[in-house]
Structure 1
Amino acid sequence: MKKLVLIILITIMSKNIFAQKLISKIDSINTEKEVENLIHTLGKDYTYFKIKKIADFKEERGENKFCKKIADSLKIDKSFYKADFDNNGYTDLLVIGDYYDFKIFVLMNNGNDPLKINRLTRRSFQNCTFPKITNDSIINYYYFSEPHIFSEEKSKLTKKDLIFKFGDFVEYNSNPASYNIEKVEFQTTMCYGTCPQFYISIDKNKNSVFKAENYNIDKSKGKVEVRGNFKAVINENDYNELISLMNYVDFPNLENNYSVNWTDDQTSTLKITYNNGKVKEISDYGMIGTYGLDRIYSLLFNLRFNQNWK
């Protein structure tokens, strides 16, 4: 028995030592200038990025004392933080800065692969946003809620706990549900611009219908616009990821309607039939109702071009 315990302890210690040896260039970065230079190397568009602490952002009429006060109370006093958000053993980097306006980026690190930028701030006009890292993986994300433009509701400081799962940050769920999802339907509208307009449905046997209406551009084929009606059987891994994510976000308990507080954007309608005919329908103007929904939409958008449609 003692020998077995010793073997287990050695195995655990070996794993911890191995994780500590997964060193990358992020681990050697220690100054704001080094972080800023690193981001500038990730693409010519990012040469405009300027690293800043929350307290360094200015309002139109001077110092942003209000946001600074909240940041101080949360002890968010630096412009960058290191953590391993996806638990792969490599150090990721959360960075606060000015990229045309206030932005929070997370540089996801997968070792030898190029760093991948994940934008944590996904709404416009949201300068007072505060990321606080706990347990080296969860981000306590504080932000001011944005009532609809015609609502009399007042904005208030709100918190979400975000975790990196399913390829993106989503709201943390300590007790995911398991619903019997029978059918998924997703419809998008046009916007003031070139937003893709399409309909896609998937049943429990992975049979899918895709109706490409406007601006469905397949960049992998030289920016070819796809139009028409198509059918396919969804790849099992893609299907399972989508269903698992929907269960993880506990979709029946999400709001029925979401909306950003600006105009001329796109609306999506997500309809999920589950548990012997129950229906949950979510209308989302701006399509960023929650982080989990944002990821669901991304997976559904990807299905337009990563399946064998006929």
Structure 2
Amino acid sequence: MAYFKTYPIHTFIIVLGLFLCYNCSSSKQHSPIDDFNTAKDIEAFVHHLTPQNKYFTVNQSLYFEHPNCRQVVQALGIKPWYKSDIDGNGYNDLLVHSRWQQTNYLAVLMVFPENQYALKMISDEGCNCARPTQTTQHTLIEFFHFDDTLYQKSWFDIMSFARQFNQLPIHTIDPYRDTLIYKFGEVIEYHSTATIQEVTSLHFKTLSCLGHCPIFEMRINQDQTATYHAIKDHLRKGKFKANIDQIEFRKLMGLLQYIQVKSLKDQYKRNDLTEPVTELIIHFRDGTTKKITDASYQGTRGLGQLYHLLIDLRKNQSWESIQ
């Protein structure tokens, strides 16, 4: 009799398990990337996206200029390309090592609903490679970037060097490895937690650049009001005001919290570029202020995306002239 009493429970558990498995599998959406089997498949798709991609090829042989770079990439077990749902939207994306007219680029082809795609460049040139890695909550990108010190190593040292990365936990801080995530519309540095610090105002200023770029100042307040002074801007000139829409405001504030802006450096330089081209000043509720000057528009990946969001506000908000 005990058997017949427990049988309905067993049935319920089996049915529930099947239902949960079905829900898990059904949350995965079909992506064109699912049908890629060869490098030619990838190249044909990327070329079709835009004429600007006509020089894109898959670095199928994982060729790098320096033999030591080729050896360490091989020792890490890196593949030319990976299918993985990078942003967690249910569609497989593509992490791919590519070449554009003899220059190596690491890229990720993002797939979004309604047949929308974006080819994001993670790095160019140099000895860079990557592979996806999975946590319980996210798909992350393990990004390796090696400098000239690698070229002085012996074969044995390179093998030992590569072995340590395969043994160390993904979140271990290392000068040759970054952990990246697709968040806020871009591939940026991964943080396991965000720092919640109330921002009362943000002041962003572009100072100069090599080439053509807008010179302007923008101030955004906690109540979403903003002022914008277009100094040398092809869109407009003069002073303007607006109320930043809720979506863009939340994106900005969310990114500020996520990148832990208070812990970032006060100054970023890049190679021979020492003069700042951007200035960011953030005021917090606790009375503290954070000022960051940047000579490259991308002191960090997260900062670079913050700059892009701020620059785009010139185009995606309704600005009213201040007389």
Whether TM-score is above 0.5 comes out as yes
1:6 offset after TM fit, Å? 7.1
The one-letter code of the counterpart of 1:108 is: M
Give unmatched runs, 5+ long, in structure 1.
59-63, 147-155, 218-224
Note closer, same or farther for the CA distance 1:145–1:256 as it changes in structure 2 (3 Å cut): farther
SS in 2 for 1:161: strand
The one-letter code of the counterpart of 1:288 is: Q
Query: Could you tell me whether the CA contact under 8 Å between 2:255 and 2:306 is conserved in 1?
Result: yes
1:50 offset after TM fit, Å? 2.0
Query: Could you tell me whether the CA contact under 8 Å between 1:24 and 1:111 is conserved in 2?
Result: no
Q: Residue 168 of structure 2 corresponds to which residue in structure 1?
A: none
1:49 aligned to 2:56?
A: yes
Alpha-carbon distance between aligned partners in 2 of 1:237 and 1:257, rounded to the nearest angstrom: 29
Q: Residue 95 of structure 1 corresponds to which residue in structure 2?
A: 96
1:132 aligned to 2:93?
A: no
Q: Residue 200 of structure 2 corresponds to which residue in structure 1?
A: 182
1:15 offset after TM fit, Å? 2.2
SS in 1 for 2:302: helix
Give unmatched runs, 5+ long, in structure 2.
1-8, 149-173
Q: Residue 34 of structure 2 corresponds to which residue in structure 1?
A: 27
Moved more, 179-188 or 33-42: 33-42
The one-letter code of the counterpart of 1:35 is: I
SS in 2 for 1:182: strand
Alpha-carbon distance between aligned partners in 2 of 1:256 and 1:144, rounded to the nearest angstrom: 25
- Correspondence for 1:107 among 106, 109, 116: 109
Alpha-carbon distance between aligned partners in 1 of 2:12 and 2:256, rounded to the nearest angstrom: 40
SS in 2 for 1:50: strand
Q: Residue 157 of structure 2 corresponds to which residue in structure 1?
A: none
Give deviations 1:30-85, integer Å, cap 9, x for gaps. 11111111111111111111221474133xxxxx2121122123211x22111001
SS in 1 for 2:211: coil
Give deviations 1:77-96, integer Å, cap 9, x for gaps. x2211100111111101111
1:247 aligned to 2:257?
A: yes
Query: Could you tell me whether the CA contact under 8 Å between 2:62 and 2:97 is conserved in 1?
Result: no
- Correspondence for 2:26 among 18, 23, 27: 18
Alpha-carbon distance between aligned partners in 1 of 2:45 and 2:275, rounded to the nearest angstrom: 33
Alpha-carbon distance between aligned partners in 2 of 1:6 and 1:230, rounded to the nearest angstrom: 63
SS in 2 for 1:118: strand
Alpha-carbon distance between aligned partners in 1 of 2:74 and 2:220, rounded to the nearest angstrom: 48
Q: Residue 158 of structure 2 corresponds to which residue in structure 1?
A: none
Superposition map of 1:250-289 within 5 A: 250-263=260-273, 267-289=277-299
SS in 1 for 2:283: strand
SS in 1 for 2:318: coil
What count of residue pairs does the alignment treat as equivalent? 283
1:179 offset after TM fit, Å? 0.4
Moved more, 247-256 or 99-108: 99-108
SS in 2 for 1:296: helix
Note closer, same or farther for the CA distance 1:4–1:303 as it changes in structure 2 (3 Å cut): farther
Tell me the TM-score normalized by structure 2: 0.81
Q: Residue 154 of structure 2 corresponds to which residue in structure 1?
A: none
Identity over aligned pairs, percent? 28
Superposition map of 1:49-88 within 5 A: 49-53=56-60, 55-58=62-65, 64-76=66-78, 78-88=79-89
Alpha-carbon distance between aligned partners in 2 of 1:271 and 1:54, rounded to the nearest angstrom: 46
Higher fraction of helix: 2
Give deviations 1:95-128, integer Å, cap 9, x for gaps. 111124211111111243232111111xx6x421
CA RMSD of aligned residues (A): 2.5
Q: Residue 199 of structure 1 corresponds to which residue in structure 2?
A: 217
Alpha-carbon distance between aligned partners in 2 of 1:70 and 1:285, rounded to the nearest angstrom: 32
1:266 offset after TM fit, Å? 6.7
1:5 offset after TM fit, Å? 7.0
Give deviations 1:249-298, integer Å, cap 9, x for gaps. 11101111112224498711111111322011111111111111111111
SS in 1 for 2:88: coil
**Structure of greater Rg:** 2
Alpha-carbon distance between aligned partners in 1 of 2:285 and 2:16, rounded to the nearest angstrom: 42
Alpha-carbon distance between aligned partners in 1 of 2:139 and 2:118, rounded to the nearest angstrom: 17
Give deviations 1:154-189, integer Å, cap 9, x for gaps. xx9522111111111121111111101111110111
Note closer, same or farther for the CA distance 1:165–1:7 as it changes in structure 2 (3 Å cut): farther
SS in 2 for 1:88: coil
The one-letter code of the counterpart of 2:128 is: T
Alpha-carbon distance between aligned partners in 2 of 1:43 and 1:10, rounded to the nearest angstrom: 43
Query: Could you tell me whether the CA contact under 8 Å between 2:202 and 2:281 is conserved in 1?
Result: yes
Note closer, same or farther for the CA distance 1:176–1:37 as it changes in structure 2 (3 Å cut): same
Note closer, same or farther for the CA distance 1:144–1:281 as it changes in structure 2 (3 Å cut): farther
